[in-house]
Chain A
Amino acid sequence: MHSEPAVISAEGLRKRLGSIDAVAGLDLAVPQGSICGFLGRNGAGKTTTIKMLMGMTRPDGGEGRIFGEPIDHEVASVRIRQKTGFVAEVKEFYPFFTVQQMIDFTRAFYPQWRNDWERRCLREYELPLERKAGKLSKGMGSKLALLLAFSRGAELLILDEPTDGLDPIAIEAFLQHVVALAGEGQTIFFSSHQLQEVEQVCDRVCLIDRGKAVLETDLDEAKTRFRKVSITFPDAVPERLFEGTGVGRLKVRGRSASLLVNGDVEAVAARARQAGATEVDFAPVSLKEIFLETVGGEQ
């Protein structure tokens, strides 16, 4: 669908932490100008992936590139970071700096600093300029993190759970900002547990589970391809018939069964009819259902 070149690309990215494979062969492509949601359960490998992209931790294998530059090369990584805004999973700053000093400090690293975004974030997030960064609440910490990321005048934003601790009004402001930045041509890659906000602003999603990308697609395409198929049989549901056809598990209630299907809905329907199904229905699904079935299906 996207013909734009990938800003972030990864092939077979690996990272071992202690005895576990935190990231186990991740493939990723985030097209220029897109807003890409990075989803997965806790411990799926999202933060480790993000740290590798930012050059904070080194991959054990595979290749990753941002703006065409290798992420594991010290000098290239500095060039990447010069053009990348970042919000860390831990939204903590230098406790001895005030919010204002924190802004001044960060500005010193970016010649392309955006004063307009700084003012906009200050106004809309209502940040207390004179308060020490060590005395900010969790929500305020997230807001300061967003200000410092948005104002960098970046081409790419990598945000790790940016809405963590934000109230609904601040989340709405955040979403507006993300949309406005995408309108300016920035590429945004953010991890989140809030599927609704991802569904609202993302045009791409990447679902990661146990260190691997299990679904990477345009969101519109996913919504077109994924269908919930409900099937009713005259007698018992022939469960084995559907092995390997759907995403996640077949749910059986009496003589009816439902299944999430990715793509070839007709084939499933045909198979069901051949087995004597009396009724076959298709329904569109939300991202939440796709997430639950794709990531939580094997338990």
Chain B
Amino acid sequence: MIAAIWRKHWMELWKRLVFFTAAELLAGIASSVELTAFHGHGPRQAHALLLAFLLGFLAMFSAIAIVVFPGQLGGTGLNTTRGLHTQTGPDPSLLFTLSLPIRRRVLFLYRSAFGLLAIEAAVAVALGIDCLLLAHSGVPWHMLVPALWVLPALAPFYFLDSFLLMWFSEGTIVVIQALVVALLIVALALLYRVYFHAGKMAGIALGHFAPLLGVLAACLLSTAFAATTVWCLDRRNY
């Protein structure tokens, strides 16, 4: 049974994952080319460029995630209200899926676990290649550590979507998520500016301290979103 579900998810998602990885790669390559062109202009410029690289990567990632996540979670029976009460919901095979002897929350957990793992893998591959490219052109690799933020940052986004999908249509979620991403980018930029002007601590803070905090926050956030989703799934009036 579990094997069958994994197989279904793989068949369903691999095309989207290929598209996702390719897009991330393109984004990464574009920003790394930019970054290497300005390398050697002093630490100030390098930091600014790294910020540009990260923000560019994050923006690109967000744009794709906004489109990919809701689509990925569509078949789990999260947003069944519309799907069940109209002839053609977002996923017409939903009625078949829900007729199987399996709980909604189990469907959701398998689906999100698979989807998240697959996306993390895709981003990791894209990031890895980008880092190799940058390292090859002489940028010190520890400067790229902040880029790893992106990996844990994916999870809260993912489960925020799963939660939102129970209440809103995919179109609405795209708008909500775009707003969240915009806010996040502004916050990051501000944070970076504050740290940067605060002194030489900036590099250390971004390179070592912040990621740990970020990972912790991401884990907490995604667990909270996932748990809320499961809780609501069991109690919702479909």
Contact = CB atoms under 8 A, between A and B. Distances in A.
Judged by CB atoms under 8 Å, the answer to whether A and B touch is: yes
Given A75-B103, A90-B87, A108-B3, A97 B96 contact: no
A56 interface: yes
A233 interface: no
A86 B99 contact: yes
Contact of A88 (B3, B8, B88, B99): B99
A74 B84 contact: no
Contact of A56 (B11, B12, B80, B88): B80
Given A92-B93, A94-B12, A96-B12, A56 B4 contact: no
Contacts of B1: 108-109
Which of B11, B85, B93, B104 has the most chain A CB within a 10 Å cutoff?
B93
A94 B93 contact: yes
Contacts of B135: none
A86 B93 CA distance: 13
Interface string B222-238: 00000000000010111
Q: Which of the four size classes fits the interface of chain B?
A: 20 to 34
A89 B92 CA distance: 10
Contacts of B12: 94, 96
Q: Which of the four size classes fits the interface of chain A?
A: 35 or more
Interface in B63-91: 80, 84-85, 87-88
A20 to B, nearest CB: 11
Interface in B186-238: 234, 236-238
Contact of A90 (B7, B95, B237): B95
B177 to A, nearest CB: 26
Nearest to B106: A78
A273 interface: no
A54 B238 CA distance: 12
A60 B237 contact: yes
Contacts of A57: 80, 84-85, 238
8 contacts: A51-B84, A55-B98, A74-B105, A78-B102, A86-B99, A92-B92, A96-B12, A108-B4
Interface of B: 1, 3-4, 7-8, 11-12, 80, 84-85, 87-88, 92-93, 95-96, 98-105, 234, 236-238
Interface of A: 17, 48, 51, 54-58, 60, 74-75, 78-79, 81-82, 84, 86, 88-90, 92-97, 101, 104-106, 108-110, 145, 148
